[in-house]
């Protein structure tokens, strides 16, 4: 349910409505848009039928939300969400954010070299895994906290922001200490305890779509984050599992316009995991920008043949440089910047 407020609703009236909603054991979420302020109500909405909300001072109307993902829906917030990372970088704005770096954090020297290259090419986030969810227990699992320290140092040296994956509710406090944005990976998209723990931090979060998950399931997972009061959420299409074997996964380009029609949250494309082959990354990145994506995440490594993980899909720094140049006119053609 959405309580739409009048344009002249006072803070006192808003607080009064929120207090009445809480008295019923429900959770109010206030969202202030450009043109109006609304209160989303989370919980058993039948409890609200005993309260004549439309008669409360400051209330313009009361609207039922039909979609199961209430806070993530366009009904709750018609205008796109844009959030500031605190250093001038805005996620969801006109400028497309680019996250780049190695799949795994291997050592500090390599990470600093790559960070400098991707920063010079126009990236705003340094990506890299300190904790790695691997299919095989014998594969490289990451450096843990040491890797987080390397990420923070490399980012601080170059002026980049850090995004990295958190895999377990017990890791949330530790990973939050070193990063600017938490990533919830595809294998954890429906780890609901992790979603609730990350949501409670209110820290910017990148939520990746599960390997075999529908868009509806992705948005319901995002709802867990939003229901804890975290509205700084970006969704990531990283390829889904299909019958096709020519690529690692199948990038669902349809997901960009569909998600942006269903939700106010910004959406990012990961063409590295989506294709699994560096030769295809550029084409999918260009298609993503043309389709309206708000961000790109790409893997970059200066020695892919020696990479601890995902060398096949990693761009050499010079290829990343060239791709960033080629993306500029495409972004401009759709009214964006990169």
Provide the terminal-to-terminal Cα distance of the chain, rounded to the nearest Å.
37
Q: What is the pLDDT of residues 89-147, one digit of tens each?
A: 999 999 999 999 999 999 999 999 999 999 999 999 999 999 876 677 766 667 889 99
Strand 233-237 vs strand 205-208: parallel, antiparallel, or unpaired?
parallel
Bridge partner list, 298: 100
Instruction: Return the axis-axis angle of helices 192-201 and 215-227, rounded to nearest 10°.
Output: 50
pTM, to two decimals: 0.86
Q: Copy the structure tokens of residue 1.
A: 């349910």
The CATH class of 83-333 is alpha beta
The per-residue pLDDT of the chain, averaged, comes to 92
Task: Taking residues 249-261, report their average pLDDT.
Answer: 96
Residue 9 CB partners (closer than 8 Å, separation 6+): 37, 57, 58, 59
Instruction: Indicate the range of 46-60, 157-171, 193-207, 219-233 predicted with least confidence.
Output: 46-60
Furthest C-alpha separation in the chain = 67
Q: Copy the structure tokens of residue 167.
A: 């895999």
Phi, psi of 328, rounded to the nearest 5 degrees? -55, -50
Q: Copy the structure tokens of residue 107.
A: 């050592």
Q: Copy the structure tokens of residue 15.
A: 């607080």
CA distance 41 to 266: 22
Neighbours of 79 (CB within 10 A): 12
CA distance 268 to 182: 14
Show me where the domains of the chain are located.
2-63, 83-333
- Residue identified by tokens 């993902």 is 69
83-333 matches 2-63 in CATH topology: no
Phi, psi of 91, rounded to the nearest 5 degrees? -90, 125
Q: Would you state the pLDDT for residue 92?
A: 97
Q: Copy the structure tokens of residue 299.
A: 């893997």
The CATH class of 2-63 is alpha beta
DSSP string, 287-312: HHHHHT-SEEEEEB-S-GGG-SS-GG
């Amino acid at each position: 349910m959405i309580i739409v407020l009048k344009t002249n609703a006072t803070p006192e009236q808003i607080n009064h409505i929120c207090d009445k909603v809480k008295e019923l054991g429900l959770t109010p979420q206030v969202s202030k848009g450009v043109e109006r302020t609304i209160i989303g109500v989370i919980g058993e909405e039948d409890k609200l039928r005993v309260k004549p909300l439309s008669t409360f001072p400051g209330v313009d109307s009361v609207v039922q939300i039909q979609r199961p993902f209430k806070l993530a829906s366009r009904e709750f917030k018609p205008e796109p969400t844009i959030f500031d990372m605190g250093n001038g970088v805005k996620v969801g704005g006109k400028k497309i954010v680019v996250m780049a770096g190695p799949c795994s954090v291997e050592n500090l020297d390599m990470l600093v070299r790559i960070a400098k290259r991707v920063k010079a090419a126009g990236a705003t986030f340094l990506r890299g895994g300190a904790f790695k969810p691997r299919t095989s227990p014998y594969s490289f699992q990451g450096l843990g906290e040491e890797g987080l320290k390397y990420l923070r140092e490399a980012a601080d040296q170059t002026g980049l922001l850090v995004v990295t994956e958190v895999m377990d509710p017990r890791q949330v406090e530790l990973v939050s200490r070193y990063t600017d944005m938490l990533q919830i990976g595809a294998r954890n998209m429906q780890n609901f305890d992790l979603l609730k723990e990350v949501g409670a931090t209110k820290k910017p979060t990148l939520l990746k779509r599960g390997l075999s998950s529908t868009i509806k399931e992705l948005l319901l997972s995002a709802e867990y984050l939003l229901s804890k009061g975290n509205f700084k959420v970006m969704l990531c299409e990283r390829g889904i599992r299909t019958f096709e074997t020519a690529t690692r996964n199948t990038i669902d380009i349809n997901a960009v316009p569909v998600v942006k029609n269903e939700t106010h949250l910004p959406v990012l494309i990961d063409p590295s995991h989506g294709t699994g082959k560096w030769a295809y990354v550029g084409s999918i990145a260009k298609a993503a920008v043309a389709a309206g994506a708000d961000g790109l995440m790409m893997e970059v490594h200066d020695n892919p043949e020696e990479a601890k993980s995902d060398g096949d899909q990693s761009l050499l720094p010079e290829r990343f440089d060239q791709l960033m140049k080629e993306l500029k006119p495409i972004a401009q053609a759709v009214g964006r910047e990169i």
